Amino acid sequence: MYHFTALVTLLAIAFYFFTSINVSRSRTRTGVKVPAMTGHPDFERAFRIQMNTLEWMPIVLPALWLFAIYISDAIAAGIGAIWIIGRIVYFAGYSQAVAKRGTGFAIQALAAMALWVGALGAVVVRLVK
């Protein structure tokens, strides 16, 4: 069973849901009406946070699960939790200013690469055996 990985997956989805709600709140605060995607810098940053999170999820979630299956549930969940922490740091920084998004982006990108490289390596090792 992959209980830890399942929990981290649900937390990642919850964070994405939070970013969606944040975009809706930002629309209300800034007056950017649907379907507009631009119009106020605060809204545009909130929208990019949500979209960037969505862009990374198809990279992270399959790698997270493959890492858990081929290597370790607990280690996958730990790295996945670091990815979520990176997304939170990205959210906090980017919400303030574009220039403040780098640290969070780096944390989540490194976690994503660790999951992907680990999963790929484990799959290749199994194929070669």
Q: Which CATH number applies to 3-128: 1.10.3720.10, 1.20.120.550, 3.30.450.40, 2.40.37.10?
A: 1.20.120.550
Task: Answer whether 0.75 is exceeded by the pTM.
Answer: yes
**Of 8, 3, 11, which Cα lies nearest the Cα of 80?**
8
Domain ranges of the chain: 3-128
What tens digit of pLDDT does each residue of 28-65 get?
999 999 999 999 999 999 999 999 999 999 999 999 99
Report pLDDT for 24. 98
Q: Which residues of 26-55 are buried (b: 16+ CB within 10 A; e: fewer)?
A: bbeeeebeeeeeeebeebbbbbbbbebbee
Six token digits for residue 125: 């090792």
What tens digit of pLDDT does each residue of 62-88 get?
999 999 999 999 999 999 999 999 999
